[in-house]
Amino acid sequence: MKANLIEVGGLNTQAIFVKKVNKSNFNSLFHFHEVCELNYIVEGTGKSIVGDCIRNYSAGDLVLLGPNLPHIWYGDPLECDSDDSLSGKAIVIYFPANYMKVLGLEDLFIQKVETLIEKSKAGVNFSLKTRQKTAALLDKILDATGITKIILFLEIMNILIDTKRYEQLSSSSFRFSLNKKDTERMNNVYRYALENFREPIDLASIAKIANMTPPAFCSFFKKRTGKSFTGFLNELRIGHACKLLGDLDLTIADVCYSSGYRNFTHFNDFFKKITAKTPSEYRKEFISIE
């Protein structure tokens, strides 16, 4: 997988850097960086690609991304195009993987953090309980300075290292390599798919976005993601369908056509293949959880 190596402004290898994202357009390039990233979504919904994982994000999500893990955030167009000042609001903390050693903390704490960071190399999405425990601390750290900021950060990490409930995002087998030209291609392909998955996307069109022939593009995409473009597109569409099924005002047919499918049978087949449930079963489970 190819991605852009970016510099995180204001951060050096010896410090933590806290950033507040508060803009209507939450979109980013497909990128990675050498430091860890803890991302707390305060407001907004959208989609993210972390390694080879495609997922919906929403307010309350707390995700830890390890060093050099490529990712992209793409806000819901309906929110990004609105005048709602709350859309795309997040608190992000960047920190070096060896920060605890830099501080000279006790070995047991360092070991626990190193274990968490090892897990975060595939991306970690924390449970609701963990999010609730850290929310107030994350809010406070925004305006903190000096030793207060460090203490708050350590309190947050102390909660994260002890959590037993989390979701690994990318597969542990995911690997990527660096190449500027391919990086630009992958970013263009992902952005086009995220913006247009509700409409038909044929192989010739997406290959043109990558400036390649269809056969060359198929080989290129499969080699770098471990899946076909068609498989990726179906995962993206079914993930969106899962989100829409939570809206009980929509019929399942509405969800089908709003997710980029023009054939209801194909929608049902792909939904069951990817989720191991029918759309109706998925909705019933969602209602029972609520």
Q: What is the pLDDT of residues 113-124, one digit of tens each?
A: 999 999 999 999
The domain locations on the chain are: 4-168, 197-289
Average pLDDT (258-282) is: 96
pLDDT value, residue 82? 47
Range scoring the smallest mean pLDDT among 143-147, 181-185, 235-239, 272-276:
181-185
The whole-number average pLDDT for the span 56-65 is 95
Provide the whole-model pTM: 0.84
- pLDDT at position 8: 47
**Cα(224)–Cα(1) distance, integer angstroms:** 4
Tokens representing residue 284 in the block? 């019933």
Instruction: Give the Å distances, CA to CA, from 273 to 57, 89, 200, 276.
Output: 22, 34, 20, 6
Residue 181 has pLDDT above 90, yes or no: no
Q: Helix, strand, or coil here: 37?
A: strand
Confidence band of 177 (pLDDT split at 50, 70, 90):
low
The CATH-assigned architecture of domain 4-168 is Sandwich (2.60)
- Tell me: pLDDT of 69 over 50: yes
pLDDT band, very low/low/confident/very high, at 10 (cuts 50, 70, 90): very low
pLDDT recorded at residue 290:
53
**Neighbour-count burial of 243, counting CB atoms closer than 10 A to its CB (0-12 exposed, 13-18 middle, 19+ buried):** middle
pLDDT at 217: 96
Q: In which band, very low, low, confident or very high, does the pLDDT at 2 lie, cut at 50, 70 and 90?
A: very low
Does the pLDDT value for residue 85 go beyond 90?
Answer: no
Topology (CATH) of 197-289: Arc Repressor Mutant, subunit A (1.10.10)
Q: Residue 7: its pLDDT value, please?
A: 47
**Model pLDDT, residue 179:** 64
% residues pLDDT > 70 (the chain): 87
pLDDT above 50 (res 135): yes
**Side-chain half-sphere CA neighbours of 64 within 13 A:** 29
Q: Is the predicted pLDDT of residue 264 greater than 60, yes or no?
A: yes
Write down the pLDDT at residue 87. Answer: 62
Mean pLDDT of 171-181: 70
Distance in angstroms (rounded) separating the CA atoms of residues 50 and 55? 8
Better-scored residue on pLDDT, 23 or 143: 143
